[in-house]
Amino acid sequence: MRKFGIIAIVVGIIMIISALSMDVSVATGGGGRVNNIGLMADRQNYTILGGLFFIAGILMAIFGGKSESNAVSVGERQCPFCAELIKNQAIKCKHCGSDVEPVKAEEPIYVDPLNRIPNKDGLIRHWVVALPFSTKAEYAKVKEGLILTGIPVHSETDRFLRVGPYPVKDEAGRILQKLMQNSLHGNIEEFWVVPDEGVEVTSLHG
C-alpha cells in the first residue's frame, strides 16, 4: 500500500506541474493572444485531479506504512512489554529481553469434507471392495485381475483381497463394477478409519 501511495504522490505532482505550465491562450486574428475558456477549464481539471492524487498518495503512504509494520503473521504475536513481534513459542522477547509466556498451538480440528458424523470412538466410515478366494489358483486370478485393472491391494487375509478404502459407497460400487468387467466378483464392506490419518482400524466383515 505504501508503494502505491508514493506512486500516487509522484503522479499528482507531475499532473499539477503540467497543468500549471499549460498555455491556455490562443492567437487572435489581430496578432495578439487571449485566454481560451476551454483550455483554462482543462488546466483547472488537471490541477484538481493532480491534487487528489497527491492527497490520496500521502494518506496511503502514511496509513499503509503503519498497517504493514503492525501486521502479525501466522505463528507470531506481539510482546506484551515492547509490542514487537515474537514467535508464539518464545519464552523470552528477543527485542526487550522480557520473559513471556509461550502460546500453545491450537490442535487442528478435523473437518470431514463429506460432513459425516464420527462414531463414539471418533472413527469415520469408509468402504472397501472385498474379493473372496478359497484356493491358491483363485488367489492368483484375483491378484492378476487387480494388476490388470491397475487397482492396488489395500489389505489381504487368508480369504479376501481388499481394495480401497473409499469415502463414498458409490465410489466403491464403481470400482466393483470395473472389477466385474474383468470377471472379478466381490462385496462392498464397511471400514472405519481414523479421520486425520486415514488409516484402517477395523472391519465389520471377515
Q: How far apart are CA 9 and CA 66, in angstroms?
A: 18
Length of the chain: 206
CATH at 191 = 3.30.70.790
pLDDT reading at 196 higher than 90: no
Q: Which of residues 24, 50, 69 is at a domain's end? A: 69
- Looking at the fold, whether 56 and 98 belong to one and the same domain comes out as no
Structural domain includes residue 139:
yes
53 and 77 share one domain: no
Cell 481394495 belongs to which residue? 163
Q: Which of 11-25, 47-61, 129-143, 182-196 has the lowest mean pLDDT?
A: 182-196
The whole-angstrom separation of Cα 63 and Cα 67 is: 6
Domain holding 102, by residue range, is 72-106
Q: Is residue 18 part of a domain?
A: yes
Whether 116 is covered by a domain: the verdict is no
Strand partners, 35: 25
Confidence band, pLDDT 50/70/90 cuts, at residue 72: low
Element (H, E) at 60: helix 37-69
Percent of the chain with pLDDT over 90: 5
What pLDDT is recorded for position 108? 57
Most confident of 67-81, 98-112, 171-185: 171-185
Name 41's Cβ contacts closer than 8 Å, sequence gap at least 6. none
Domain annotation covers residue 23: yes
Position of cell 470400482? Answer: 175
Predicted confidence at residue 105, as pLDDT, reads 63
**What pLDDT does 172 receive?**
86
Number of independent structural domains in the chain: 3
